[in-house]
């Protein structure tokens, strides 16, 4: 009984001591928390761990160290960037369809009457041989059948038997030769705009997938040359087609070549430049593409024949054959494919052009990752958990961009605005809009810039559908006078939306290239371009259903889903570019943990400070555990003594 009473007293004393110790620890912890709250630059242990991982990742990126020795943006890099800009201007063959399918007003060819009246003027010929509508205009697809009368009988009695055009058509009111009057695509033979658009988008689909895959397998340099060859064959060669179906096939080839060059050149620039330099290069490259659209529009306005348009705009591609000798391969890709000798040669050549010297000891550190050739396949987009989640988020964003961009383009065409205006004015405004991306990227970084530009573009698309000339506006039966008065406002909204989405494409192209590893970068860009084209096809299908609410539903839902998941993307600014799948975050970590932005970290924390802080925290935890274990052991010893 006494032993039990003593044991109970000791146990109560232990509990009291534990409470006192817990309170003291609580006050101590509260003191440290208060001290940390007073210091705005303090970081949590978890943030310091992430910071330390980022520092170690930068140290492991030996290629970045070598690029510092080569020169971040010397003569070699400036020349490389300039070389990639030239094809961006010439790849605007994609938009030539807008100018070669201008509306035409045809009349049946009635030159048979010139055999009996060779001195007839053109107006007299039409008055005698073409039937007229009640308003006095000539019918475009009907003619009077020829008769064996003399001219006086035809003038006196007139012609009465009508039929469709038998000997082709003439275009007396047209001053330029277009594809319409070249192949007589009139009077039931008009080409369906959907066929042209779908052929262009199918070319993007197949080209982005195939050439993106080949870029990662064969290298960036071969695919750039293959794409330039495609621009020569299918772009310049379009001037020599003999039928409308041949024209469609050549447009299919041009779209493949253009998207193949965009993917391979973006990968090459990403892997040659470091820091914000390569982001600036991508922005400027897209600006040159906008300038190419302006250049193409000027040619289409001044040249009298559609074949001359393709000849003049395609001829400058031929000198680009010299890229075989002057354009380098990506050293990162060479290194990952086990071609260390070629990678060192390319780096040494770049250093020589920049008048730099790479230390031999630094070149010797350039080794294969894991001492073996890095392999990856398209299946890794599914098998790798982190890559799968990031790819799905990017696909949702690219799909939404494609839907909204094509919806705005279709709205502009429905308004009947002059085609030269719809290309020149937005093209001129796209240049400063894309240049503003540099400021956004530096101030807001990747993710916030993407959310801002896309939200603005999606909002403009939604407003264009609500106004009287939009789908919802027609369904709401707005007054016709109101629709006419708001046409200028609608055009302004559409232009602003296109500019915002153009900036979104530029920002997201940079963002996507940084998220994907080098071994799968081109394949990933190809898959995402495929999704972008799928978004365009979806817009065409939805608009053709003639259901007012469907375009609004598609744009709003796709934009909402994209913005919701975009928040989960990681911030990549000032982070090393991943080369292989091993450089991606571990699969056991959640996506939100992997995707913590640089804002969550303390930028002024150095590696030594981070290590010391983590070490001290670890030792504190060890000391506390040791003290608690010692207290428990001493308490149990006292109980045993009392029992004895």
The token pair that represents 596 in the structure block? 């913590």
Q: Which of 182-186, 309-313, 595-599 is predicted most confidently?
A: 309-313
Cβ-count burial of 406 within 10 angstroms (0-12 exposed, 13-18 middle, 19+ buried)? buried
Range list of H helices, 331-486? 331-336, 340-353, 360-364, 380-383, 385-414, 419-466, 471-475, 480-485
Q: Which pLDDT band holds residue 616 (cuts at 50, 70, 90)?
A: low
**Beta carbons of 104 and 179 less than 8 angstroms apart:** no
Task: Quote the mean pLDDT of the chain.
Answer: 76
Per mean pLDDT, which range of 190-194, 267-271, 497-501, 620-624 is the poorest?
A: 620-624
Q: Which pLDDT band holds residue 91 (cuts at 50, 70, 90)?
A: confident
pTM for the model: 0.75
pLDDT at 229 > cutoff 70: yes
Question: Pick from 324, 208, 311, 330: which is nearest to 259 by CA?
Answer: 208
CA gap 36, 19 in Å, rounded? 25
553 to each of 44, 236, 401, 497, 501, how far by Cα in Å? 44, 41, 14, 17, 19
Q: Which helix (H) or strand (E) holds 164?
A: strand 162-164
State how far Cα 381 lies from the chain centre.
18
Q: Which residue has the higher pLDDT, 345 or 627?
A: 345
Instruction: Please give the average per-residue pLDDT across 82-110, as a whole number.
Output: 82
**Beta carbons of 316 and 34 less than 8 angstroms apart:** no
pLDDT at 303 > cutoff 80: yes
CA gap 346, 402 in Å, rounded? 38
**Beta carbons of 51 and 575 less than 8 angstroms apart:** no
Q: Looking at residue 49, what is its pLDDT?
A: 52
CA gap 94, 87 in Å, rounded? 13
- Which residues partner with 169 through β-bridges? 108
Q: Looking at residue 452, what is its pLDDT?
A: 92
- Which residues partner with 162 through β-bridges? 144
Instruction: Please give the average per-residue pLDDT across 545-569, as a whole number.
Output: 84
Q: Looking at residue 600, what is its pLDDT?
A: 40
What pLDDT digit, counting tens, does each position of 111-134 carry?
Answer: 787 777 777 787 777 777 888 777
pLDDT at 156 > cutoff 80: no
**Beta carbons of 285 and 269 less than 8 angstroms apart:** yes
Instruction: Please give the average per-residue pLDDT across 171-177, as a whole number.
Output: 78
pLDDT at 222 > cutoff 90: yes
Q: Looking at residue 455, what is its pLDDT?
A: 93
CA gap 518, 61 in Å, rounded? 13
3-state secondary structure 523-540: HHHHHHHHHHHHHHHHHH
What pLDDT digit, counting tens, does each position of 429-484 carry?
Answer: 888 888 888 888 888 888 898 999 999 998 988 888 887 654 444 544 545 454 55
End-to-end CA distance of the chain: 13
Q: Looking at residue 45, what is its pLDDT?
A: 54
Q: Which of 105-109, 167-171, 444-448 is predicted most confidently?
A: 444-448
The token pair that represents 209 in the structure block? 């997938």
- How many percent of the chain have pLDDT more than 70? 76
Q: Which of 48-57, 342-351, 511-520 is predicted most confidently?
A: 342-351
Q: Looking at residue 364, what is its pLDDT?
A: 76
CA gap 249, 247 in Å, rounded? 5
- How many percent of the chain have pLDDT more than 90? 7
Q: Looking at residue 368, what is its pLDDT?
A: 56
Phi-psi region of 158 (alpha: psi -120 to 50; beta: other; left: phi over 0): left
CA gap 60, 43 in Å, rounded? 24
For tokens 């559609």, the residue is: 306
What pLDDT digit, counting tens, does each position of 407-437 carry?
Answer: 888 888 777 777 777 788 888 888 888 888 8
**Beta carbons of 332 and 271 less than 8 angstroms apart:** yes
């Amino acid at each position: 009984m006494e032993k039990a009473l003593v044991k109970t007293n000791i146990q109560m004393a232990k509990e009291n001591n534990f409470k006192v110790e817990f309170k003291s620890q609580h006050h101590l912890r509260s003191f440290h928390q208060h001290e940390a709250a007073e210091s705005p630059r303090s970081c949590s242990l978890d943030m310091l761990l992430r910071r330390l991982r980022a520092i170690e990742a930068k140290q492991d990126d030996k290629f970045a160290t070598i690029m510092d020795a080569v020169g971040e943006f010397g003569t070699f890099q400036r020349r490389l960037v300039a070389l990639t800009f030239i094809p961006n201007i010439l790849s605007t063959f994609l938009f030539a369809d807008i100018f070669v399918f201008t509306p035409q007003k045809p009349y049946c060819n009635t030159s048979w009457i010139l055999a009996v009246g060779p001195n007839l003027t053109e107006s007299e010929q039409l008055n005698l041989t073409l039937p007229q509508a009640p308003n006095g205009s000539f019918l475009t697809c009907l003619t009077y059948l020829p008769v064996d009368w003399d001219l006086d009988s035809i003038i006196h009695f007139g012609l009465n038997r009508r039929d469709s055009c038998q000997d082709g058509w003439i275009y007396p009111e047209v001053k330029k030769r277009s594809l319409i009057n070249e192949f007589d695509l009139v009077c039931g033979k008009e080409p369906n705009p959907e066929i042209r658009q779908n052929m262009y988008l199918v070319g993007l689909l197949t080209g982005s997938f195939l050439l993106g895959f080949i870029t990662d397998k064969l290298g960036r340099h071969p695919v750039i040359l293959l794409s330039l060859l495609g621009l020569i064959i299918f772009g310049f060669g379009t001037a020599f087609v003999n039928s409308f179906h041949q024209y469609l096939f050549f447009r299919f080839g041009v779209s493949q070549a253009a998207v193949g060059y965009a993917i391979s050149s973006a990968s090459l620039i990403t892997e040659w430049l470091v820091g914000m330099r390569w982001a600036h290069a991508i922005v400027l490259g897209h600006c040159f593409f906008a300038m190419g659209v302006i250049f193409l529009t000027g040619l289409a306005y001044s040249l009298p024949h559609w074949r001359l348009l393709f000849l003049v705009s395609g001829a400058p591609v031929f000198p680009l054959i010299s890229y075989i000798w002057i354009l380098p391969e990506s050293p990162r890709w060479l290194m990952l494919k086990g071609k260390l000798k070629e990678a060192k040669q390319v780096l040494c050549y770049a250093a020589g052009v920049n008048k730099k010297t790479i230390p031999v000891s630094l070149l010797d550190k350039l080794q294969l990752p894991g001492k073996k050739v890095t392999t990856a396949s398209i299946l890794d987009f599914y098998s790798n958990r982190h890559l799968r989640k990031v790819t799905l988020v990017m696909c949702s964003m690219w799909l939404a961009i494609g839907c909204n961009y094509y919806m705005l383009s279709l709205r502009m065409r429905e308004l009947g605005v002059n085609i030269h205006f719809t290309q020149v004015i937005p093209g001129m405004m796209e240049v400063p809009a894309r240049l503003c991306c540099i400021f956004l990227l530096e101030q807001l970084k990747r993710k916030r810039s993407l959310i801002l530009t896309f939200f603005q573009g999606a909002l403009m698309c939604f407003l264009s559908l609500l106004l009287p000339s939009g789908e919802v506006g027609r369904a709401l039966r707005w007054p016709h006078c109101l629709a006419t008065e708001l046409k200028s406002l609608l055009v302004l909204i559409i232009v602003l939306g296109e500019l915002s989405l153009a900036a979104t494409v530029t920002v997201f192209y940079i963002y996507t290239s940084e998220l994907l590893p080098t071994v799968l970068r081109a394949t990933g860009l190809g898959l995402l371009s495929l999704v972008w084209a799928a978004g365009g096809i979806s817009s065409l299908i939805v608009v053709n259903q003639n259901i007012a609410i469907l375009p609004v539903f598609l744009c709003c839902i796709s934009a909402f889903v994209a913005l919701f998941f975009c928040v989960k993307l990681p911030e990549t600014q000032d982070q090393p570019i991943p080369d292989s799948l091993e450089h991606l975050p571990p699969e056991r970590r959640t996506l939100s943990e992997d995707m913590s932005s640089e804002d969550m970290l303390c930028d002024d924390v150095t590696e030594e400070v981070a290590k010391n802080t983590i070490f001290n925290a670890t030792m504190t935890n060890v000391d506390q555990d040791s003290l608690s274990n010692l207290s428990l052991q001493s308490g149990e010893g006292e109980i045993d003594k009392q029992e004895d």
